[in-house]
C-alpha cells in the first residue's frame, strides 16, 4: 500500500536516517519504538559533528572567536525553539537535560509556595516523571495530591476534573499526549478550567512535539516541557517554557556558574532569565542539535507529519484488530500513532522478544505508567509507536510477525 498523501515522500525521507539501513538478526530493521526515542536524521548528526569538529568551545564566557561562534549557534537554537513553539520571548525558553529535569525545576521551585490546605491535580495517565516529582512536592509542602481519573477508552474524565477543581487547587499537571495510549488530551479546555480557579498548569509535551504543532500561546499553558530526543534530536537536552512572571517567581533549581549576577561570601544575586535556571556548562552540542532537529521537522511540515502518521495509525489499528484475542488499550478519537495491545493471555515481554528476532523493535512492559496498567488490570502491554519515516509495508510485516508470535506462544 502507498500513502494517500501524494506530497509526502516517505522513501525520500527514509534516506535521511542512516540507522534505517541496519539489519537486526538478519532482518531489515523495523523501528516501532519511537515513543521511547526517535531516530536521528543525518542533518542532526551533521550538526553535532560540525560543532565538535569546527567550533567546540564553552559559551557566554569567552571573548575568543570559537566561544562567540558557539554562543551564537546555541542562542540561535533557543530562538528556533521560541519561534517553533510560539513563545513570546526567547528568555522564556530554558534549556534543560530533558523533560524530567524541566518538571523537577518547577516542582522544586514551588516547595515554599504551597501549604497543607493546598491541592494539586495530576492525571491518571501520566508518565512516572510527571507523578513522582509532585508526590515529592507534596511531601515537602504538605499539599494534597488529587488524581483526575480516566475512562475505559483511554480519555480523561473531564466531568470529574471539573468537580476536583476548587479554590484550593494551585497546580494542575497533565500530559499533552499519553506515551502509553496515544490519547491527545484537550489541553486548552484543561487550562481554561484551571485558570478560572487561579491555578497554574504544567503540560508534559514529550510525546506531543514530534506529532503536533504546539503553540504555547494558543494553549495558554503556564509551563510546557519537552525533550529533544523525541523530536529527532539528541538525548540529554530538553526545554522548559514558562510564563515570565512565574519563572521570575521560582527560585533557581541549582547553584553554580552562569546563573549568577554577583557573588560574595555574604550574598549572591541571580542572573536574569533564562540563565537563572541554566547553572554550569550546558549541553552545548545538544542544544544546537535540538535546533537543527526542529528545523528538520519544520522543513517536512508538522501538518504533513500528523496526516501521514494518522494514516499509519488507522491502517495498523485495522489490521491488528483482525487478530483473534488481541485487545488494544486506548481508543480515543484523537490520538497519535501509538498502539498498546495484548493478545489473549500471552505476556507482552514474550511477544516483544519474538518480534525482535524478526528485526522489529517494539516496547514492552508498563512504559513508566504503572497506574494505567493497574487501571486495566494488566502487567503491561506491547507498544508499537510509529513515526513519519515508517511505512505501510513495515506495518504489513509487523502484523504478520505478531500472528507468528501468537502461534508460537499458544
Name the packing angle between helices 284-300 and 42-54 (round to 10°): 150
Residue 240: what are its φ and ψ, rounded to 5°?
A: -115, 120
**Looking at the DSSP assignment, which residues form a beta bridge with residue 189?**
none
CA distances from 242 to 73, 217, 239, 262 (A): 22, 11, 10, 24
Q: Which helix (H) or strand (E) segment is 217 a member of?
A: helix 216-219
Alpha-carbon distance of 267 to 66, in angstroms, equals: 33
What is residue 242's three-state secondary structure?
strand
Rounded CA-CA distance 337/372 in Å is 18
Examine the residue annotation and report whether 368 is marked as an active-site residue of this protein: yes
Helix or strand holding residue 148 (H, E): strand 144-148
Task: In whole angstroms, give the CA distance from residue 296 to residue 39.
Answer: 13
Report the alpha-carbon distance of residue 298 to residue 407 in Å, rounded.
43
Q: Write out the three cell numbers for 82.
A: 521560541
Q: Is 135 exposed, middle or buried (0-12, 13-18, 19+ CB in 10 A)?
A: middle
* Distance in angstroms (rounded) separating the CA atoms of residues 296 and 292: 6
Residues 277, 259 contacting (CB under 8 angstroms) = yes
Instruction: Choose the catalytic residue: 138, 209, 232, 368.
Output: 368
DSSP-derived pairing of the beta strands 27-28 and 23-24: antiparallel
Residue 163 CB burial class (10 angstroms; 0-12, 13-18, ≥19): exposed
Known catalytic residues? 368
Amino acid at each position: 500500500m502507498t500513502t494517500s498523501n501524494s506530497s509526502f515522500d516517505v522513501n525520500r525521507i527514509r534516506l535521511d536516517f542512516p540507522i534505517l539501513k541496519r539489519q537486526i538478526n538478519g532482518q531489515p530493521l523495523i523501528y516501532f519504538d519511537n515513543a521511547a526515542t526517535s531516530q536521528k536524521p543525518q542533518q542532526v548528526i551533521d550538526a553535532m559533528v560540525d560543532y565538535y569538529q569546527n567550533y567546540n568551545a564553552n559559551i557566554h564566557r569567552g571573548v575568543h572567536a570559537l566561544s562567540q561562534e558557539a554562543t551564537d549557534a546555541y542562542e540561535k537554537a533557543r530562538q528556533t525553539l521560541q519561534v517553533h513553539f510560539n513563545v513570546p520571548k526567547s528568555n522564556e525558553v530554558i534549556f534543560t537535560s530533558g523533560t524530567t529535569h524541566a518538571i523537577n525545576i518547577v516542582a522544586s521551585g514551588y516547595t515554599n509556595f504551597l501549604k497543607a490546605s493546598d491541592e494539586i491535580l495530576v492525571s491518571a495517565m501520566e508518565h512516572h516523571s510527571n507523578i513522582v516529582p509532585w508526590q515529592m512536592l507534596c511531601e515537602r509542602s504538605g499539599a494534597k495530591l488529587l488524581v483526575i481519573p480516566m475512562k475505559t477508552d483511554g480519555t480523561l474524565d473531564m466531568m470529574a476534573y471539573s468537580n476536583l477543581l476548587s479554590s484550593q487547587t494551585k497546580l494542575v499537571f497533565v500530559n499533552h499526549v499519553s506515551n502509553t495510549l496515544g490519547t491527545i488530551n484537550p489541553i486548552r479546555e484543561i487550562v481554561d478550567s484551571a485558570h478560572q480557579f487561579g491555578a497554574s498548569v504544567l503540560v508534559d509535551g514529550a510525546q506531543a512535539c514530534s506529532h503536533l504543532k504546539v503553540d504555547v500561546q494558543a494553549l495558554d499553558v503556564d509551563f510546557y516541557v519537552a525533550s529533544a530526543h523525541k523530536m529527532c534530536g539528541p538525548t540529554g537536552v530538553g526545554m522548559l517554557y514558562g510564563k515570565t512572571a512565574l519563572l521570575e517567581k521560582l527560585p533557581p533549581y541549582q547553584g553554580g556558574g552562569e546563573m549568577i549576577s554577583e557573588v560574595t561570601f555574604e550574598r549572591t544575586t541571580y542572573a536574569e532569565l533564562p540563565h537563572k535556571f541554566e547553572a554550569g556548562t550546558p549541553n552545548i552540542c545538544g542544544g544546537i542539535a535540538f535546533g537543527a532537529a526542529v528545523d528538520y521537522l519544520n522543513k517536512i511540515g508538522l501538518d504533513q507529519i500528523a496526516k501521514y502518521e494518522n494514516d499509519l495509525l488507522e491502517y495498523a489499528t485495522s489490521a491488528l484488530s483482525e487478530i483473534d484475542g488481541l485487545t488494544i488499550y486506548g481508543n480515543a478519537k484523537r490520538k497519535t500513532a501509538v498502539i498498546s495491545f495484548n493478545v489473549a493471555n500471552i505476556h507482552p515481554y514474550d511477544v516483544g522478544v519474538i518480534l525482535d528476532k524478526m528485526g522489529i523493535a517494539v516496547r514492552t512492559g508498563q512504559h513508566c505508567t504503572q497506574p494505567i496498567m493497574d487501571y486495566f488490570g494488566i502487567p503491561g502491554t506491547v507498544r508499537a509507536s510509529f513515526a513519519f519515516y515508517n511505512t505501510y509495508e513495515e506495518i504489513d510485516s509487523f502484523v504478520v510477525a505478531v500472528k507468528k508470535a501468537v502461534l508460537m506462544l499458544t
